[in-house]
Chain A
């Protein structure tokens, strides 16, 4: 890797080498049975150069051909965007624990046992459910060096445990599921199964909803599937810079409900979304985005920050292995003071939304969302009475998050990216075949 940097420095003003190696072991169950064990070993190296003031980029999985890598980066630099940033000089990083050596010592046999226990816990509740389950462990190493002498180096372990169940009656299909992850091994399949059992209980009966505006409680999964993608876009410094974010010129203004607090935090110990530095080697920081309803910051990488005359927030992310671009690491929504039961009890007629399908397809820049309620429950006179089907809800997150009735007092992780409590909103447009 030093060798690639040295070669690049000979032909370009500045250079940065980004190297990732990972080993992932998924153990997969299909139709309630162990089906597949995989081992995925991967290495890749990406080179970013600044040549004639412009950015060039190339990546490869061939580890023996640095000459080709350098020449591809040179070829692209001719057309690249003008570089407005400098690579980070040597700096110190916050202590962010993301590696637990215990993960490496978990055997395949133990992983198989965890998956089997998870499936048994679900099928002993509902015998005719068909489950897919996955138990995965992985270790990723990231290494970045640049021509300013900057260096980032860390190892991360991730363990995940999840199950998805399909229950079919006639042509009616019910989908339930839960997955959890951590940098520590997750050895409690019952904790995962419990969430699924609760979904199965609530979905036992069916209920119909009228086509009209109704109050809605979004569970943490509901928040993730309906409301989060528009927020990710709106706080992206690049979208703000282009003038395409609806909140881009409203820094310091109360755009959201006063109860709402949102921040980005890649420094939480042993969370898969955490890391000591971002994919450009900028140290991680916690960035408040919404404080008491007011827009307080946007998220930046080096180039976008320079163009916007501000500093990188350490949110440079390489996504699918391309050039860094601003992206949130972990969204945290602060819990409030209302229990989930209190929210439900407050509703005369309304919905609890657990999973919305297709919400990300609409005009997410404008905050519109519209989706089919894949898993959701009808509330009548303060009680969940059953599961709804053939129901579509639509709304705009800027209207919904401006007026929140209550925020739940219990937050949870949804995937590795989001930690949120339930949100209780006064009115959402509902269309149903009823």
Chain B
């Protein structure tokens, strides 16, 4: 059996004496398993192993990148990456200064979820599937479970050697209810940093999800328009990720003078209660790590503090070009891709208002819960709720069909006028940027209230 350690010496030698400003390489070894159900029956079960690597070279501001599965030709790969970078480069290379690190980081709970017997995983999923199928008027269920465990060795021409292991579990359940030609569905996303016990014991949530799918069949669709909207912690987490998180990724801004003006530090984005943070340094969450994929230590970064833009997420290159500090947010979904600026664990800090007070003075509004999806074009964003209710006279009223909310980041963040006291981090879901998805991230928030939010509907 081949292991990546066996190639470290050869690779270290191959990086030496090259005509490049900077070279880095990653070697990656991973294993994973997946189980999916569609309907009552298990649909697919599989195991995967992978070994691969890449080399990235910087010459006069231009990048070359080579990825491969064949580790037998490392010197050739390094040579090709350098040659490509030479074809691109015609300026000065700029990378923020980072101390070379030599470190070995083993998986936090030293648990490998892939090693748990498939029978044990299947038993849990069977149990959840039975709960869904016990719900009357349910048409079908969809369950997708996957886990993974990987070890990455990072080397660079400055002398860094970082070995990191990480484990990840993702579970998505959906219940589909039908009546005539009406089809409605409800979903639940769970995840953890490799700890299988965290996705156990969720029977009650699964039951409520299945009941909700049936309930939706008779629920009305909201009338489209502007509403005062209250988001639960899960959805508010998706909102902060989509509406603001992606905009704070510096690779979008650093070479665009217009955007640099728009995203100038100190600009007011919200009221004084609003604090938004991204932190890979909080341990144990799906977006946590000690070093990013450029070997930069993880940090806690305030993006918005007291309503003002105070920071953004950086790679070494974007930090240098914007003359700001690197934040350790360059991440690659796997060895086939170069690292790009990504979020880790992104959240709105809690304040003091309890939920009851947030909704008590709303005459007519929408309470939107639970993650369904979200996307952004930077200025505009949309995100959708798996569950929604009308708010009438300060109280939750009838359930609604899933709603899609949309807005403009510059006005919507300003329109947040209440922030709850009940921060929760959501471990389900993943983030996509370009071709790189799903990247494990987490996001969270307390309940928040947004005035004048555009809701799509009939």
Interface residues of A (CB under 8 A from B): 30-31, 33-44, 56-65, 68-69, 72-73, 75-76, 78-81, 108-109, 112, 128, 130, 166, 168-169, 171-173, 175, 211, 238, 242-244, 246, 321-323, 325, 357-358, 360-363, 365-368, 370-372, 374, 389-390, 392-394, 398, 429-433
Contact = CB atoms under 8 A, between A and B. Distances in A.
B224 interface: yes
Closest 8 CB pairs of A and B: A358-B382, A431-B224, A361-B373, A31-B255, A168-B258, A370-B456, A37-B84, A57-B46
Nearest to A355: B377
Contacts of A243: 139-140, 178
B285 to A, nearest CB: 24
A358 B404 contact: yes
Nearest to A169: B258
Interface stretch (B9-17, B49-57, B164-172): B49-57
Nearest to A255: B181
A244 B88 contact: no
B44 A366 contact: no
A242 B374 contact: no
Contact of A38 (B176, B338, B454, B458): B338
Interface string B447-458: 000000011111
A169 B259 CA distance: 10
Contact of B2 (A62, A79, A357): A62
Interface size class of B (residues with CB under 8 A): 35 or more
Nearest to B376: A357
Nearest to A41: B68
Interface string B268-305: 00000000000000000000000000000000000000
A294 B256 CA distance: 50
Of A64, A238, A362, most buried by chain B (CB within 10 Å of CB) is A362
B354 interface: no
Contact of A323 (B46, B139, B225, B377): B46
B139 A242 contact: yes
A168 B46 contact: no
A246 B50 contact: no
Contacts of A44: 50, 69
B456 A394 contact: yes
A244 B410 CA distance: 40
A81 B118 contact: no
A244 B178 contact: yes
Nearest to B44: A323
A56 B373 CA distance: 32
B106 to A, nearest CB: 22
Contact of B379 (A59, A128, A172, A367): A172
Interface of B: 1-2, 33-35, 38-39, 41-52, 62-70, 80-81, 84-85, 87-88, 118-119, 122, 139-140, 176, 178, 181-185, 224-226, 255-256, 258-259, 262, 336, 338, 372-375, 377-384, 401-402, 404, 406, 408, 410, 454-458
A418 B188 CA distance: 31
A409 B375 CA distance: 32
Contacts of A370: 384, 404, 456-457
28 contacts: A34-B62, A35-B88, A36-B62, A40-B67, A42-B67, A59-B46, A61-B50, A61-B51, A65-B1, A72-B48, A76-B33, A79-B119, A81-B42, A81-B45, A168-B262, A171-B379, A211-B224, A238-B38, A242-B139, A244-B176, A246-B183, A357-B382, A371-B404, A372-B377, A392-B224, A392-B404, A394-B458, A429-B224
B50 A322 contact: no
A40 B336 contact: yes
B457 A63 contact: no
B404 A394 contact: yes
A371 B376 CA distance: 11
B50 A363 contact: no
A432 B457 CA distance: 11
Of A35, A243, A358, most buried by chain B (CB within 10 Å of CB) is A358
A41 B69 contact: yes
Contact of A398 (B181, B338, B454): B181
A361 B184 contact: no
Contacts of B176: 242, 244, 365
Contact of B454 (A62, A63, A431): A431
A63 B72 CA distance: 11
Given A36-B88, A79-B122, A81-B42, A361 B379 contact: no
Contacts of B378: 173
Contact of A361 (B52, B225, B375): B375
Given A37-B88, A76-B45, A80-B42, A43 B70 contact: yes
A68 B176 CA distance: 38
A137 B434 CA distance: 18
Given A30-B255, A360-B373, A433-B226, A65 B2 contact: yes
B70 to A, nearest CB: 7
B456 A38 contact: no
Contact of B64 (A38, A109, A173, A363): A38
